[in-house]
Chain A
Amino acid sequence: MRIVVCVKFVPDIQSDRQLGPDGRVVRDLGDGTLNELDENAVEAALTLAEEHDGEVVVLTVGPDDAVDAVRKGLQMGAAQAVHVLDDDVAGSDAIGTATVLAAAVRHLHAAEPVDLVVTGMAGLDGLTSLLPTALGELLDLPSLPLAARLTVDPGAGTVTVERRLDHASETLTAALPAVVSVTDQANAPRYPNFKGIMAAKKKPVTTLTLADLGVDPATVGTAGARTQVLAAAPRPPREDRVLVQDTGDAGTRLAAWLVEQKLV
């Protein structure tokens, strides 16, 4: 079983994240990292590969630094890494990124069949959650997003996910190959150990360009973006803030304040 995991390099959410004048997330502050929610995707893929005698390929699209994201995947135990690196990718929206990833998955599939594509539930920079479903559409594969539980039946050639939505819980199933996104409820990601870190140094990272993938640059990046950020500004700090130490009547005072603020 061959599993491709799509991972993203994002600014660390613990850092002071910013948008540039172009409305894009500033990615050169030196504190980028593997999107935390993609660790769950890597873990899910590694677990399935261990159960079903498979192999995991980590795949990312992004600038130079993004190689760190796939390196982390290799350290966790993936066998192979692919980094799509091309200036024309800059400025891609979720659909643009999905277009490049889909082309890369097809490229990998042509070399050796891919049975499953796994992604995290969302990128912690944009948080749109659009990518996994868009990727399934572009690959013309069934997509089963937001798996809190994920099982594969290799005999039947099916994948089944359990997921929790806003108002309901669902179980979905489809034949492989398919695209699945996993939530942070799906598992507890392993930490790379010393052996994994040393082994990762010897594992290959293949770099590919849009030309290698046959992607028309006009369809991705800023050129292909379907939205354009006109303005971005930090939210103004909250004013008239109150901090009180409870001396016995803080609850009463809070109620009075809420009434004063017309919140009750």
Chain B
Amino acid sequence: MTATPVLVLLDHAADGTLRPPVRELLTLARTVADGAPVHGVWAGTADVAPALPVLAAQGVAAVHRLVADADLHLSSVVADGLGQLLDATGAGLLLLVSSFESKEVAARLAVRTGAGVVTDADGLEVADGRLVARKTVLAGTWTTRCAITTPVALVTVKANAVPAADAPAATEPTVVDAPVQVSAASRRVQLVERTERPASGRPDLGSAHVVVVGGRGTEGDFSPVEDLADALGGAVGATRVATDEGWIGHDAQIGQTGVTVAPRLYVGAGVSGAVHHRGGMQASGTIVAVNADADAPIFEIADYGIVGDLFTVLPQAAAEVRRLRAQG
């Protein structure tokens, strides 16, 4: 790699706190930067100050703060800014978290810059001078290694792809304003309304290390699922059946058309393991299933399966986890 910086889009909440996967991206950026600086890009009007301590610990050299006279929630405006920064810095690699928004930005940039894109990578290395991304495909059943053959590479990285670690030496990142030339095309889509989802107090589903999921078997009573999630410090997810029934919000849906998760631990309770659901969780580190039906397909992929009633198994497990924790 050359000495041009590696760029990382700094995904953050409305209050300026970085989303947890950003630390993982910055860690990954350093490993492939091979001594070249890592630069952050801040797209949004939130104050960057709350993020600076994390960025300093991650060894980030500079933060480019996009400034535009258009809404920076629009992917085309962010793509305008990032395209100009790729040009200005000569960067050959831009990392983004794997969110729907990032994929829109990546698609636009790919067309505008001729860059190659890999989405949902779970690893990244430099081999023979080329960037190679690792990626799990076909509902978590296959792993691939994929080289990017263009001078500029865009990679969206899944949460929990690598453990985040601070840089050997902290930095004092400089913050520089980067005025965006907003293209005429970007002004054609209008953001009429945007409502941020309120934080739940539990970890973010997409990046949590532990996810406990309830399905139809809960019959609408998610309290055992929430209880175990809280005992394990995890997030609560759901199958499409549970969200369609209105037992929990749509944003909790895990699967090919919902959130994709790859936590260290997935627990599915009253979840049959339909292929649509498996597509969003099969890459999880350890899979635990609690299901009344010994023939449920989820047992085929479970590391630990319990044939039993979730209403007795989950509360017992939660109580025991709390007891063992209290013991230290």
**Chain A interface (Cβ < 8 Å from any Cβ of B):** 13-14, 17-19, 23, 25, 37, 93-95, 98, 121-122, 124-134, 137-138, 140, 142-146, 160, 164-175, 183-185, 225-235, 238, 240-246, 249-252, 254-259, 261, 263-264
Q: Which residues of A contact B111 (CB under 8 A)?
A: 95, 98, 134, 137-138
The answer to whether A13 and B307 have CB atoms under 8 Å apart is: no
In the complex the two chains form, what is the Cα distance from A19 to B73 in whole Å?
A: 37
Measured between beta carbons, the chain A residues less than 8 angstroms from B275 are: 13-14
Residue in chain B with minimal CB distance to A225: B149
Residue pairs across A and B with Cβ atoms less than 8 A apart, 7 shown, are A94-B107, A146-B100, A183-B257, A185-B250, A226-B110, A246-B313, A251-B312
Residue of A nearest to B109 (CB): A137
A238 vs B141: C-alpha distance in the bound complex, in angstroms?
A: 11
Q: Is the CB of A264 within 8 A of B119?
A: no
Within 8 Å CB of B117, what residues of A? 93-95, 128, 130, 226-227
B117 to chain A, nearest CB (A): 6
Contacts of A127 in B (CB 8 A): 120, 137, 256, 279
CB distance from A220 to the nearest CB of B (A): 13
> Which residues from chain A contact B73 at a C-beta distance below 8 Å?
168, 170
Q: Which of B103, B142, B147, B190 contacts A233 (CB 8 A)?
A: B142
Contact residues in B for A263 (Cβ distance below 8 Å): 210, 264-265, 286
- For A160, what are the chain B residues with a Cβ–Cβ distance below 8 Å? 192
Interface pairs A-B: 9 shortest CB-CB: A251-B316, A246-B308, A226-B116, A255-B320, A133-B107, A251-B317, A137-B111, A130-B107, A171-B192
- Is there an interface contact between B103 and A129, defined as CB atoms closer than 8 Å? yes
Q: Contact: B279 with A13, CB < 8 Å? A: yes
Also in contact, A251 and B315, with CB within 8 A (given A94-B107, A229-B145): yes
Q: How far is the CB of A34 from chain B (nearest CB, A)?
A: 16
Residue of A nearest to B136 (CB): A235
Which of B141, B264, B307, B317 is A255 in contact with, Cβ under 8 Å?
Answer: B317
Within 8 A of A (CB), among B193-218: 193-197, 206, 210
Contact of B75 with A133 in the complex, beta carbons under 8 Å:
yes
Chain B residues in 8 Å Cβ range of A246: 306-309, 312-313
CA distance A256 to B317 in the complex (A): 9
Query: Is B288 close to A, CB under 8 A?
Result: yes
Decide yes or no: A168 and B147 within 8 Å by CB, A14-B275, A244-B305, A246-B313 being known contacts: no
Q: A166-B101, A251-B317 are in contact. Are A241 and B303 (CB under 8 A)?
A: yes
* Chain A CB within 8 A of B68 CB: no
A261 touches B193 (CB 8 A): no
A142 to B261, CA, bound (A): 30
Taken together as a complex, chains A and B put the C-alpha atoms of A252 and B312 apart, in Å, by: 11
The answer to whether B190 and A145 have CB atoms under 8 Å apart is no
Q: Does B118 contact A (CB under 8 A)?
A: yes
Interfacial residues of chain B within 83-119, with CB under 8 A of chain A in the complex: 99-101, 103-104, 106-108, 110-112, 114-119
B196 contact set on A, CB distance < 8 A: 167-168
Interface size on B, residues (CB 8 A): 89
A39 CA to B149 CA in the complex, in Å? 34
Judge whether B303 and A242 touch: CB under 8 Å.
yes
Known: A95-B111, A235-B136. 4 other contacts (CB 8 A): A128-B103, A173-B189, A246-B308, A250-B313
Contact call B324/A238, Cβ cutoff below 8 A: no
Q: Which residue of A lies closest to B299 (CB)?
A: A243
Q: A174 to chain B: which residues have CB within 8 Å?
A: 188-190
Residue B191 at the chain A interface, CB threshold 8 Å = yes
In-complex Cβ contact of A226 among B115, B144, B232, B286 (8 A): B115
Q: Is the CB of B190 within 8 A of A173?
A: yes
List B residues 139-167 near A (Cβ within 8 Å).
Answer: 139-150
Q: Once the chains are docked, how many angstroms separate the CA of A93 from the CA of B279?
A: 21
Is B321 in the interface zone, CB < 8 Å from A?
yes
- B136 contact set on A, CB distance < 8 A: 235
Contact A170 B206 (CB under 8 A): no
CB-based contact A95/B193 at 8 Å: no
> Do residues B259 and A166 form an inter-chain contact, with CB atoms below 8 A?
yes
Contact B110 A165 (CB under 8 A): no
Residue in A17, A23, A234, A249 whose beta carbon sits within 8 Å of that of B146 in the complex = A23
Contact A129 to B321, CB < 8 A, known contacts A13-B275, A37-B257, A168-B195: no
Do residues A250 and B306 form an inter-chain contact, with CB atoms below 8 A?
yes
| B147 with A228: CB separation less than 8 A | yes
- Among B141, B299, B313, B323, point to the contact of A235 (Cβ < 8 A): B141
Chain B residues with CB under 8 A of A184: 257
Q: How far is the CB of A167 from chain B (nearest CB, A)?
A: 5
Kindly list chain B residues whose C-beta atoms are within 8 Å of the C-beta of A140. Answer: 185
Give the shortest distance, in Å, between B99 (CB) and chain A (any CB).
5
Within 8 Å by CB of A23, from B115, B144, B210, B316, lies B144
Closest residue of A by beta carbon distance from B243: A185
User: Please, which residue of chain B has its CB at the minimum distance from the CB of A163?
Assistant: B100
A227 and B279 contact, CB distance less than 8 A: no
Q: Which of B242-261 contact A (CB under 8 A)?
A: 250-251, 256-257, 259
